Amino acid sequence: MRKLDRLVVVGASLAGLRAAQTLRDEGYTGDLTLVGAEPHLPYNRPPLSKSLLTGDDDVALPGSDQLDARWLIGRNAVGLDTARQAITLDDGAQVPYDGLVITTGARPRRLDDSDMSLTGVHLLRTFDDAMNLRKALREGPRRVAVIGGGIIGGEVSSTLRALGIEVVLIDAAPAPMAGPLGETVGEWLAEHHTRNGVELVSGVRVESLKGDGHVSAVRLSDGRSLPADLVIVGLGVLPNTEWLDGSGLHLDDGVLTDSALFARGHANIVAAGDVARWPHGVFDDEYVRIEHWANANEQAPSPPATSSAARRTPSRSPRCIPWAHACTAPASSGPAFPEPPTRWWRSQVPLKRRSSPSASDEAGSSSRRRGQLAQGTHQTAPRHRRTSTAGHCNRGLTHTLPLGRSAPPGAPAVGIPAI
């Protein structure tokens, strides 16, 4: 087996944190470095379109402070040299590695620069995006236009209605999410939004935004112009792979990997989470990229268990990284299909649920923790276990925020601004 002393994770979010935790759980004692573009320790994104906008600051994703790791936070990887086994950071610094984990996720699609440069136009991917949006919402917009009837657009529209804000939801499809989920569900969603007071404008595209400095209206392809003094763009995401251009990795709507999540042709590089595209056993080994919390949460700890190929032929899985035994997970551990989160999206792919004997334990410990929080006696969060996905989702919502707490060595502390 190749000796690994320096493991680098690029992308310090959910999948990156889970990969790093797993490495330590499985006994890796060498250097571990996490590089993250955002100025925050890993946090949970699902609350950003929901509870955070209504005033609940909890986006906790416990565990960062228990990792013995070097955090290069607020730093972008801009290049990868696989021959020299080094990553280049935005300031030219080189980070050598023996094993590399790519978890750089995805970023939102944008409108044209001329539209995006108007004030009052928001994207929603990061904690900072959500806090900016929350601040803008508290300034009392008269009418918000949400562009895109997908999951983010739909969620944000519902959240805004809960805040009593007037919303127009503009979607190119005949009904929201009719593409991925079919007409029946699309029509149900359309009715749901309409009943909820959302003005739904379907089957039409956005041409451009109007405004003199600040956005004032959305111009549609059918010639209409809808007034709005705040716009939220929810047009889907693109995988963050540009920093890998020229590296020799196979890039095609994500990092292409084998069924064990090893970057094709590279025995010491893996990818996981929103950025990875791999042959999925459930879909007859068709290449898929899944943009869901549960996938990023489960995939990094046990990448190949989600693929039928790895289950069928475990001995084919490479054994070159410290989580090799997870790569060749024996059948006795059961098929580890990702389990959908309980409070967030139910999964949009046909997932099998693992039986979860620990569910009641989770519920019990969760309410105990809430009690501790109320009494101010809450201690450090328990370490993540990958067998308790459903509970973990809720657990994230009940923990204290990792941001602003004492950060691990090398990581800047980031506080929640009071808005």
| Closest to 405 (Cα-Cα) out of 46, 19, 59 | 59
Supply 120's token pair: 């009052």
- Answer yes or no whether residue 240 interacts with ligand FAD by CB under 6 A: yes
Among 38, 57, 229, 258, binds ligand FAD (CB under 6 A): 38
CB of 123 to ligand FAD, least distance (A): 9
Q: What DSSP element (H or E) covers 396?
A: helix 389-398
User: What is the Cα–Cα distance from 255 to 5, expressed in whole angstroms?
Assistant: 24
- Nearest residue to 313 via CA among 286, 340, 279: 279
Evaluate whether 4 touches 323 at the Cβ level (below 8 Å). Answer: no
Binding to ligand FAD, residues 269-298 (CB under 6 A): 273-274, 291-294, 296
Stretch that binds ligand FAD, among 38-46, 61-69, 137-145, 364-372 (CB under 6 A): 38-46
Tell me which stretch binds ligand FAD (CB under 6 A): 36-44, 221-229, 257-265, 376-384.
36-44
Establish if 246 lies at the interface with ligand FAD (CB under 6 A).
no
For residues 301 and 386, the answer to whether their CB atoms sit within 8 Å is yes
Burial of residue 107 (number of CB atoms within 10 Å: 0-12, 13-18, 19+): middle
Torsional class of 203: left (φ above 0), alpha (ψ -120 to 50), beta (otherwise) = left
- By beta-carbon proximity to ligand FAD, the closer residue of 224 and 343 is 343
If the CB atoms of residues 217 and 275 are measured against ligand FAD, the closer one turns out to be: 275
Query: Is residue 48 close enough to count as binding ligand FAD by CB under 6 A?
Result: yes
Cβ distance 4 to 30 under 8 Å? yes
CB of 40: closest distance to ligand FAD in angstroms?
8
Is 35 a binding residue for ligand FAD by CB under 6 A? The answer is yes
Range in contact with ligand FAD (rule: CB under 6 A) among 176-184, 246-254, 329-337, 338-346: 338-346
Report the nearest approach of ligand FAD to the CB of residue 342 (Å).
10
Least distance in Å: CB of 106 to ligand FAD?
5
Only segment of 102-110, 246-254, 357-365, 377-385 that touches ligand FAD (CB under 6 A): 102-110
Q: Which helix (H) or strand (E) holds 369?
A: helix 359-375
Angle at CA 25, nearest 5°, toward 23 and 30? 45
How is 59-72 classified by DSSP, letter by letter?
---TTGGGS--EEE
**345 touches ligand FAD by CB under 6 A:** yes
Q: Which of 9, 21, 23, 45 binds ligand FAD (CB under 6 A)?
A: 45
Residues lying near ligand FAD in the complex (CB under 6 A) are found at: 10-16, 35-38, 45-46, 48-49, 76-77, 103-106, 124-125, 152, 240, 243, 273-274, 291-294, 296, 341, 344-345
